[in-house]
Amino acid sequence: MQPWMRSALIVGFAMGGFFDGILLHQILQWHHLLSLVPGVDTLRAQVLWDGLFHAAMYGVAVVGMWGLWRARNRLSGVGVRALAGALLVGSGLWHGVDAVLSHWLLGIHRIRVDSPDPLLWDLLWLVVFGLLPIAAGWRLMRGPGTGTGTRTGTGVGRAGLPLVLAGLLTAGLAGWSLRAPTGQDFTTIVFAPGIDAAQAVAAVRSADGRIVWSDPRMTVIVVDIPAGERMELYRRGALLVSGSGVPSGCFNWSDGVA
């Protein structure tokens, strides 16, 4: 990979982060960086971590811009299409990394934390702002008039197939995680911010459940509850309920042990 292309990908990656933070954290306010992290439950703390996230994206952007500056002599032979394509691929890569790392592995936030089907929003966002920009950027980088030459075009073409396969694999693994595990005796519930202890207890009792364990603030509760009553908890302030299928995704596989 040529230096200018690597730097353009880094800048695009930072642009994807800025797009995510500005649109989802600030304008739409669908989530903050640490929306689902226990203990970070004040608006001040959430905004602070959003600010640190944006500062980190500034750092990434500076690294990419510095790389483009150093490769400026070579940019004269690079077409605008190729440069725009690299930026698109970088932006799409950000959304792919964010989906896998932040949404599914770390679980620090989801695209819409207030949705009864957060995994659906995660997958939709990944396709629209992750996989499609990667595919469009790849096509621009391989198109005629890019000024990248046959060798570069071939390299990008070879890189495109693994990217598409990686996206399909990610979607497949997310779908596989929807299966509820067998032999799961308890259900883990994460309640939305604003649901107090009394409301949480009332929600569990309304579903004929019994509390087995909870954190001090009762935002995370382990309960013994009939499987058929799990979905009802979403109507009573739950963000995630393990073993309830689509709304929980990988969370279905939490073992419910304190």
Cβ neighbours for 44, distance < 8 A, ≥ 6 positions apart = none
Residues facing 187 on adjacent strands = 223
pLDDT of res. 144: 60
Tell me how far apart the alpha carbons of residues 31 and 136 are, in angstroms, rounded to a whole number. Answer: 27
Strand order in the sheet with 210-214: 210-214, 220-224, 187-191, 238-241
Please tell me the distance from the alpha carbon of residue 90 to that of residue 81, in angstroms, as a whole number.
14
Count of Cβ atoms closer than 10 Å to residue 185 Cβ:
10
Is pTM beyond 0.75 here? no
Q: Which residues make beta-bridge pairs with 223?
A: 187, 211
First to last CA, the chain: 47
Structure confidence at residue 141 (pLDDT):
86
For CATH 3.30.70, the residue range(s) in the chain are 187-253
pLDDT digits (tens, 9 = 90+) for 77-114: 778 888 999 999 999 999 999 999 999 999 999 999 99
pLDDT of 226: 84
DSSP one-letter code for 98 = I
- Report domain 187-253's class: alpha beta
* Structure-token pair, residue 31: 């989530």
Q: How far apart are CA 95 and CA 101, in angstroms?
A: 10
Q: What is the per-residue pLDDT for 96?
A: 94
Q: What percent of the chain has pLDDT over 70?
A: 77
